[in-house]
Amino acid sequence: MDEKELLKFRTALTRFVPLNDEDWGLLSPFVTYRNLAKGEHWITEGKKEQYLGFILEGNMRHYYIRNGEEKTTYFYFENHLTGSYFSALNGAASLVTIEALTDCRLLSFPYDVLVSLYDESHAWERFGRILAEYLAMGLEERMSELLMLSPEERYVKLIEGNKKKIIERIPQHYIANYLGITPVSLSRIRKRLTSK
Amino acid sequence: MDEKELLKFRTALTRFVPLNDEDWGLLSPFVTYRNLAKGEHWITEGKKEQYLGFILEGNMRHYYIRNGEEKTTYFYFENHLTGSYFSALNGAASLVTIEALTDCRLLSFPYDVLVSLYDESHAWERFGRILAEYLAMGLEERMSELLMLSPEERYVKLIEGNKKKIIERIPQHYIANYLGITPVSLSRIRKRLTSK
DNA sequence: CTTTTTTATTATCTTTTGTTAACGTTTTAA
DNA sequence: TTAAAACGTTAACAAAAGATAATAAAAAAG
């Protein structure tokens, strides 16, 4: 286990909540490496997925499948947690798939372990609360954008906003899917915007 | 303070997490009544709103205002918590308005108090975690519906699903707003559906 | 009980998106 | 290096939603 990368992970968690050596020692023995080739699934719809991951390197795409069509909800980049959080939470089969858009390196740990830490330590319980609050704020933002903005406005916000990584690194047809429109429609929107 | 209604509130909280007398005693002194006439605001956009509420009676509507237009995200009914949770969470002015659609009776308590309980007791910290997880799952569902379903499919799901209260009690133009379409468009969808 | 106000439907016209297909370019893999 | 696959743009037409206005029905207010 590369100590430098493990520290990177610990530091990322510390952004949510301070973790002393004792707290960290409860989780760290359960952390393992995972490599994924481009196109492989980290999480697969229909399976009970029990692991959360921390991306050391690479990009991932989080999507639902509805009537055979993929519907992208999120992209994940390095230095962020990824997983089918809510499936893990209630022990059900995952509703989502998370695939590697590039070759990826992850650190992973079982969700079960995290839950057992909630019992063992107030600090980890707090971590769980703040993580859930953080996820909820992200979902609230995404939800309100879908409700309030037109596809064109959503695209403009993506360009101008703080999600530049998506524009820079993600193929356009996935971005269209993320915006809830077809690639054809996104192409038209781009044309409309450049002619203004 | 009506003991029966206070108990109702306690019971509702217990659905999230067991609360013994001691835990409950930390919050109960801060609980107060609030009455709202139809049309009044429980939360107003732009104000720092520090109170969460528990609805004893009545219906409420949760909406954003964007370019002067209201965008409804949720309806609340009796026996549920309501408030500008995320504004309270980060201490900022509320981005949403919550108005009484009927005369309402609430129990309310300051969000600050809840946060201070997170420090005082592991049980309340757990309550906070599970509340945030619960909210996040609701947001996930709402978000994925907006991304995956057409307005017509969203309406059908509302009729067939477990959200019957909305159909039964909420005026149609608010439902249209909740679905992200105009009342005119909802009327057309209804016509399409009945002629099938 | 009568008068407003609110709510829901319908019609017309415009704008936007979806669908399908064609075409050229870029990337990937053999 | 060459063939195949993936990607982005454009065009033509269909389907759906927005905007506006007229009308009728239901609810609220006096």
Residue range A29-56, pLDDT digits in tens: 999 999 999 999 999 999 998 899 999 9
Measured CA A55 to C1' D18 distance, in angstroms: 43
The verdict on A123 and A163 lying in the same domain is no
Instruction: State the nearest Cα–Cα gap between B3 and chain A, in angstroms.
Output: 30
Percent of chain B at pLDDT above 90? 88
Q: For residue B149, which residues of chain A lie inside 8 Å, CB to CB? A: 66
Rounded CA separation B58/B11 (Å): 19
How many contacts, defined by CB atoms under 8 Å, are there between A and B?
80
Between A149 and B87, where is the model more confident? A149
Q: How confident is the model at residue A194 (pLDDT cuts 50, 70, 90)?
A: confident
The verdict on B138 and B157 lying in the same domain is no
Which run of H or of E encompasses A45?
none
Q: What would the pLDDT profile of B106-116 be if each residue is shown by its tens digit?
A: 999 999 999 99
Quick check: A97 and A34 in contact, CB under 8 A? Answer: no
Cα atoms found within 13 Å of the Cα of residue B175, Cβ hemisphere only? 24
Rounded CA separation B35/B58 (Å): 10
CB distance B144–A71 less than 8 Å? Answer: yes
* The token pair that represents B42 in the structure block: 């429980």
The verdict on A33 and A77 lying in the same domain is yes
What is the pLDDT averaged over residues A79-98?
A: 91
The verdict on A137 and A153 lying in the same domain is no
The verdict on B85 and B178 lying in the same domain is no
CB distance B135–A136 less than 8 Å? Answer: yes
Q: Is the CB of A152 under 7 A from strand C?
A: yes
Most A CBs within 10 A among B69, B95, B129, B175, hence the mutation to make, goes to B129
Order of strands across the sheet that contains B41-43 = B41-43, B96-100, B60-66, B69-76
Residue B196 has pLDDT above 60, yes or no: no
The verdict on B72 and B154 lying in the same domain is no
Instruction: State the nearest Cα–Cα gap between A148 and chain B, in angstroms.
Output: 6
Q: For residue A18, which residues of chain B lie inside 8 Å, CB to CB? A: none
The verdict on A121 and A167 lying in the same domain is no
What is the pLDDT averaged over residues B123-146?
A: 96
Instruction: State the nearest Cα–Cα gap between A69 and chain B, in angstroms.
Output: 9
Whichever domain contains A78, its CATH number is: 2.60.120.10
Q: What's the length of chain A?
A: 196
Using CB atoms, which residue from B66, B136, B142 is nearest to A132? B136
| Interfacial A residues in 4-63 facing B (CB < 8 Å) | none
What is the number of structural domains in chain A? 2
The verdict on B44 and B86 lying in the same domain is yes
Residue A121 has pLDDT above 60, yes or no: yes
Q: For residue B135, which residues of chain A lie inside 8 Å, CB to CB? A: 136
The verdict on B177 and B135 lying in the same domain is no
What is the pLDDT averaged over residues A138-167?
A: 93
DSSP calls for B24-64: HHHHGGG-EEEEE-TT-EEE-TTS---EEEEEEE--EEEEE
* The token pair that represents B130 in the structure block: 């599970």
CB distance B64–A143 less than 8 Å? Answer: no
Classified as helix, coil or strand, B100 is: strand
Q: Amino acid identity of B97?
A: T
User: Cα-Cα-Cα-Cα dihedral of A156, A162, A167, A170, to 10°?
Assistant: -130
Rounded CA separation B154/A154 (Å): 20
Q: State the average pLDDT for chain B.
A: 94
Quick check: A127 and A69 in contact, CB under 8 A? Answer: no
Most A CBs within 10 A among B73, B122, B140, B149, hence the mutation to make, goes to B140
Cα atoms found within 13 Å of the Cα of residue B149, Cβ hemisphere only? 17
* The token pair that represents A1 in the structure block: 């286990």
Q: How confident is the model at residue B194 (pLDDT cuts 50, 70, 90)?
A: confident
Range of the domain at B10: 3-148
Q: How confident is the model at residue A114 (pLDDT cuts 50, 70, 90)?
A: very high
The verdict on A142 and A157 lying in the same domain is no
Quick check: B139 and B147 in contact, CB under 8 A? Answer: no
Phi/psi of residue B146, nearest 5 degrees: -65, -35
Place of tokens 């909406």: B63
Is some CB atom of chain B closer than 8 A to the CB atom of A137? yes
- Which residue, B76, B142, B95, is CA-closest to A136? B142
The verdict on B13 and B41 lying in the same domain is yes
Rounded CA separation A108/A43 (Å): 12
DSSP calls for B161-196: SS-HHHHHHS-HHHHHHHHTS-HHHHHHHHHHHHT-
The verdict on A162 and A79 lying in the same domain is no
Quick check: A5 and A56 in contact, CB under 8 A? Answer: yes
CB distance A118–B126 less than 8 Å? Answer: yes
Rounded CA separation B149/B89 (Å): 31
Quick check: A99 and A60 in contact, CB under 8 A? Answer: yes
Using CB atoms, which residue from B66, B139, B149 is nearest to A143? B139
Is some CB atom of chain A closer than 8 A to the CB atom of B140? yes
Based on the number of CB atoms within 10 Å of its own CB, is B74 exposed (0-12), middle (13-18) or buried (19 or more)? middle
What is the pLDDT averaged over residues A77-84?
A: 94
Q: What's the length of chain B?
A: 196
Q: How confident is the model at residue A77 (pLDDT cuts 50, 70, 90)?
A: very high
Place of tokens 């007398």: B21
Q: What would the pLDDT profile of B55-90 be if each residue is shown by its tens digit?
A: 999 999 999 998 889 999 999 999 999 999 888 888
Q: How confident is the model at residue A180 (pLDDT cuts 50, 70, 90)?
A: very high
Measured CA A172 to C1' C26 distance, in angstroms: 13
